[in-house]
Structure 1
Amino acid sequence: MAVDRESLPDGTVLGPYHLQHHIAQGGFSLIYEGYDDDSGEEVVVKEYMPKKIARRGHAQRVIPSDPALAESFQRGRRLFFQEVKALASLQHPSIVRVVDFFLANETAYLVMPNERGRNLGAYVQERRGGLSTTFILSVFIPILDALSLLHQRAMVHLDVKPGNIHLRHGDRPILLDLGAVHPLKRGRTRGGQVITAGYSPLEQYLRDGRVGPWTDVYAVGASIRACMDGQTPLPAPQRQQQDTLTPATVEFKTRYPPELLEQVDWAMRMDIEQRPQDAGELLCAILKKVDKGVESISELSNPEMLRAARQLASS
């Protein structure tokens, strides 16, 4: 049973970081805005605080909500810390930079730069969908390139969705919530994974589901569709029972290039084997089939990344 999670009070100091206020929360964390006392730079601090098994104890400590949950809490904290350490080694213009990570208050903290901009999920809701082909490509080509790097490092994100994509000036995207990223392991099961209805494919719901890079691919396809439709796609379990989701090639045929719509439908196939097997495969397909769209966004995306992606697509 989930418990109310008490956030750290405004003004809390954690090492060199001065927390100003609590701004958001996820299934496994509380998120704060603050600044680095040493450099003066604005930062975002994520605190490991799983809502189902933890609460705030004495002297700001994070403790299991029940003694029987202590082992699960400690295992999750250890994995959070290990995964953030791995992410700190990643260098990509569309992956949020890890400034620092440390243990305090019996839990773990991730520190990231505070990048000014807007959230893609909020923008989709505000516009009610209908985002242009150029905009969609300018956002998702860099995101796919970033996911491709994760997949090459045997890591999966497992919570790709518009709400986890931040748009900086010029709509340059950054993939957020890297605390959800997991090392890819043979035979990996569901345990502890975040599930977001509409964006998580069926294998994420199943205890013995085969999760992998193809799981992120489904989420990308669902996110692109949300940009077109303005609403969250039908959840995967409902699609399994009765798939009433109209193919994108039919639903949006008068509004978007068929080549792009074909890739969205391919990414959102229910059968794992019928999807692109990783982000790189989907990225290559998009670059090959939507060449005119790629040319039109060359000034909005990272030129070096686009050149490298085109070389990959032509190989």
Structure 2
Amino acid sequence: MFNSGYQLKVVEGPGYGRVLPLSSEEISLGRAVDAQEPCTPNRFVFFEGTVSRVHARLLWEDRHKIYHLQHLSKTNQTRVNEKVIQDKVLQLGDRIGMGKLLLEVQKAPKADHIRSNILELPPVLRANSLLSPDEAEKAVLPANLCRELPADLAGRKLGPYQLIKELGRGSVGRVYLGRHTSWDLTYAIKILAPEVIKDASVLQRFQMEAKVASSLRHPNIIQVVDICVSDGFVFLVMECMSPRSLQTLIDEQKRPFTNKRIISILEQLLSALEHAHLHGIVHRDVKPGNILIDESKDNIALTDFSIAKVKDGARMTSTGVLLGTVEYMAPELFEGFSADPRADMYAVGVILYELMTGIPPFRGRNTAEVVKAQLLTLPAHPKTYNPHVPDWLVELDFLLLQKNPDHRLSSARDVRNQLLAYSQSL
């Protein structure tokens, strides 16, 4: 089997934005039995009632390098460019109609266009360099870098920032409420755990990622203000928002969210990711703990853009333990592939499932069991836990949770537009 360089893209109807790569194998097109039935390289399925179970098939003719589309359904029509067909040679730009679905034959983008590229952006932070050229060249850390964080840093002054109180802690460090003593402004100060900064190259990469993240200006993204090394500590300075995360809210609620609230949270999250992806930035660690929420207005903001790639570059600790929250990691990341926007979209699918049902889709007694579930199992249908969730939202989640990234919805903008269009019916 080979990749033909062509793809089908859903341009209208359920699954809008979904991309299906074409190969030399015979490919059947039809309706999924339920939202858990996966796509395979030889069968593209759609959770849509106006599509027949066995609707049509694509045949590759190697001699002439063309695809034949053959109609198979006895009850529903297959159309190409609005004309009913039985057998049709497809050309670039042709539009295939099956019930409410409309698919377009497109040239597949090259791999290097699919993968994200960090943009070269002008420096926007006050700190121009964390390391001297000599230190960077020798790949050594500053001699005074702390090897462990004290039990409590509240009350301590780091550079111009006075630490007031601890707001939270996680796998990469701690967050404090801080105040700039000259400007009398409050910020969130994230102090990195020493084990994250293993060597000078990681520190330099962290600085670069912080600069890139600081270029993002969006109401649903926490703004990075500064990055510093002071008194042996490496820390980020960020705009201050409610310290409550979506994870805290999920843990407290312990039940499905209302459909209206799900859509509000998801729309804002997709808006943030759309902005980041358009700037060539992949988050890599989208999870409820990195989504801050102001409950009074239900506004959310995504944080930790600059942390994620540093973790991604050192995913394993010295003892072989995975860094990061494996429940939200796309399957391809466990297999060694680098993250692109599709990994972020998979995480959105996991979060959506959790909001709909009140529980994560992939669970286990330990990390190994969760990873195995991510790679090999399908989650229970959301309506098992929440009969009130609409079918179109279940279908959307099904498309986000595809284990093969080539079959997964990849555009935050397309998913957001689809979400807003369907939500009008609620």
TM-score range, shorter chain: 0.7 to 0.9
Structure 2 unaligned spans of 5+: 1-146, 316-322, 364-369
The residue correspondences of 1:229-244 to structure 2 (distance < 5 A) are 229-234=357-362, 237-239=371-373, 242-244=376-378
Cα distance in 2 between the residues matched to 1:13 and 1:42 = 13
1:237 corresponds to which letter in structure 2? V
Q: Which shifted more, 24-33 or 143-152?
A: 24-33
- Which of 271, 274, 283 is the equivalent residue of 2:416? 283
- 1:148 maps to which residue? 274
* Residue-by-residue CA offset, 1:138-166 (whole Å, 9 max, x unaligned): 11101101111111111111111111111
Counterpart position of 1:172: 299
Q: CA deviation at 1:125?
A: 1.4
Q: Compute the displacement of 1:285 (Å).
A: 2.6
Instruction: Select the structure that is richer in helix.
Output: 1
CA shift, 1:7, in A, is 5.0
For residues 220 and 214 of structure 2, the distance between their equivalents in structure 1, rounded to whole angstroms, comes to: 14
Aligned mates of 2:324, 2:192 — CA distance in 1: 17
Question: Is residue 256–residue 354 contact of structure 2 (8 Å, CA) maintained in 1?
Answer: no
Deviation per residue, 1:111-148 (Å, 9 max, x gap): 11221363211111111121011101111101101111
Contact 1:17–1:36 (CA under 8 A) maintained in structure 2: yes
**Structure 1 residues 277 and 26: alpha-carbon distance in aligned structure 2, compared to 1, 3 A threshold:** same
Alpha-carbon distance change, 97 to 145 in structure 1, aligned in 2, over 3 angstroms = same
What SS is found at the alignment partner of 1:260? helix
| Residues 1:24 and 2:153 are matched in the alignment | no
Q: What do residues 63-120 of structure 1 show as CA deviations (whole Å, max 9, x unaligned)?
A: xxxxxxxxx4212111111111111111100000222222324553211122136321
Relative to 1, partners in 2 of residues 1:133 and 1:88: Cα closer, same or farther, differing over 3 Å? same
Mean Cα deviation higher: 80-89 or 238-247 = 238-247
Could you tell me which of 381, 386, 392 is aligned with 1:247? 381
- Runs (4 or more) in structure 1 with deviation over 4 Å come to none
1:170–1:240 distance in 2 versus 1, CA, 3 Å: closer
Partner of 2:254: 128
Aligned-pair Cα RMSD in Å: 2.5
User: Does residue 375 of structure 2 align to residue 273 of structure 1?
Assistant: no
| Counterparts of 2:389 and 2:164, CA distance in 1 | 43
Cα deviation, residue 225, structure 1: 1.1
* CA spacing shift, 1:104–1:35, aligned 2, 3 Å: same
Distance 1:155 1:220, change over 3 A: same
Amino acid at match of 1:225: Y
Offset of 1:258 from its aligned partner? 1.0
Please give the residue correspondences for 1:1-315 in structure 2 after superposition, counting only pairs within 5 Å: 5-6=149-150, 9-51=153-195, 72-116=198-242, 118-168=244-294, 169-182=296-309, 191-193=313-315, 194-206=323-335, 208-234=336-362, 237-239=371-373, 242-248=376-382, 250-251=383-384, 254-293=387-426
Instruction: State how far apart, in whole Å, the 2-side matches of 1:166 and 1:182 are.
Output: 20
How far apart, in 1, do the equivalents of 2:158 and 2:375 lie?
48
What secondary structure sits across from 1:93 in the alignment?
coil
Name whichever structure is richer in strand by fraction: 2
Query: Which entry has the higher C-alpha Rg, 1 or 2?
Result: 2
Aligned residue type for 1:97: Q
TM-score, with length taken from structure 2: 0.57
Identity %: 25
